[in-house]
Amino acid sequence: MKIVVDANVPAAEACFETLGEVVRLPGREIDAAALRDADALVVRSITRVDRTMIEAARRAGSRLGFVGSCTIGTDHIDREALSEHGIAFASAPGCNAEAVVDYVLASLLTLAEREGWQLASRRVGIVGVGNVGGRLLGRLTAMGIDCLACDPPRVELQGVGRPATAGFVDLDTLVDACDVICLHTPLVRRGPHATYHLLDAQRISALAPDTVLLNAGRGDCVDGAALRQRLAGQADLTAVLDVWETEPAIDTALADLAAIATPHVAGYSLDGKLRGTHQVYHALCRHLGLSTRLTLEDLLPPPAVSRLALNAGLAPEEALRLCLRSVYDVRRDHDSLRRESRRQGMAQGFDACRAGYPLRREAATLVVELGAEAGHLAPLLRGAGLHVVD
């Protein structure tokens, strides 16, 4: 059995070599020719597995029977075409959701420090309340942050076995009422709940001055040209962008105008990546009728920073910022994209940042020990997802 795997999928050998030969290729180089003698394909989001690729591989005699994507999103996969050709599919829903929430909190706390405001003073609007948005809503609410949420498909399903959605609002109400807007929607191009250019020129123009717009969902959900025009013309918004139209050849001018610009790495924690690999490994074993041998704990190393002791003297958000940065500092990713895009050009620099991404763990791996006079920090730190002990 031959398994073609994106070169950026971690622990591929540990998971898949017991099942067959593992062949690693850069994600953007995986094409129909690479699948000619493959039985299984394991990718991340940069590889488009579309009808053209699948049918070309079939014409070349490919015996491909399984495709797995170690990601939450699946808009890079033509699932209908896979089904038509009898190819099984699996993704990894929720695998990196915690990492994306860490990214959002790290970004907002960094902006608050730069600009001199408190996160507690802001109302946060969350657009898309699935694996990521739901966790973000839970953490922010536990931290005492005022939040609104928008998710029309979830509201429609209320009362048929889904979580209650009381208090959800429509998008335009959320845009009008919130100081911070966080996008966590999948990319849906057609239908009643299409998200392509969900924030179009009209909605971007309607954003109030001093609004923070954060997109860690899909780049095509925002009209990048309209956002660039607003940022360049009025300079009264703050943009945090991790996802972009036309990746990796993204709009350099828009990246330069963003307060935080990162190369689609919000979910790039080691924990999230290994969860994704492990979930696809489980799915491939099920497809083959085999039992699994590896647990996620078998794959995860101990964190480099596992414990932090805090005493009196820090304001709550200052303490939270310190704790998060001991695990993940979003400024590093912003600086990396600026540096590598200057050195290599935007497209090559973007991919270089992702391919050479440094080790990153999640907030939940950090144990925070509070001294006798620092107990008041516990509610905020616990709400943010940290493991707090007195």
375 known ligand binder: no
Among the listed residues 154, 184, 264, 334, the single catalytic one is: 264
Whether the Cβ atoms of residue 123 and residue 177 lie closer than 8 Å to each other: yes
357 known ligand binder: no
What is the distance between the alpha carbons of residues 199 and 226, in angstroms, rounded to a whole number? 9
Annotated catalytic residue 369:
no
74 known ligand binder: no
Residues 6+ apart with CB under 8 A from 17: none
Annotated catalytic residue 247:
yes
211 known ligand binder: no
What is the distance between the alpha carbons of residues 297 and 271, in angstroms, rounded to a whole number? 10
45 known ligand binder: yes
What is the distance between the alpha carbons of residues 207 and 176, in angstroms, rounded to a whole number? 7
236 known ligand binder: no
242 known ligand binder: yes
Among the listed residues 135, 154, 197, 218, the single catalytic one is: 218
Whether the Cβ atoms of residue 68 and residue 40 lie closer than 8 Å to each other: yes
Ranges of H-type helices in 224-377: 224-233, 252-257, 270-288, 296-299, 316-327, 330-344, 346-355
Ranges of H-type helices in 28-125: 51-59, 79-84, 97-115
Among the listed residues 247, 317, 340, 362, the single catalytic one is: 247
Instruction: Give the burial class of 166: count Cβ atoms within 10 A of its Cβ; 0-12 exposed, 13-18 middle, 19 or more buried.
Output: exposed
Residue ranges for the known binding site for substrate are: 45, 71, 268
Q: Which residues are catalytic?
A: 218, 247, 264
Residue ranges for the known binding site for NAD(+) are: 151, 185, 242, 267
Residue ranges for the known binding site are: 45, 71, 151, 185, 242, 267-268
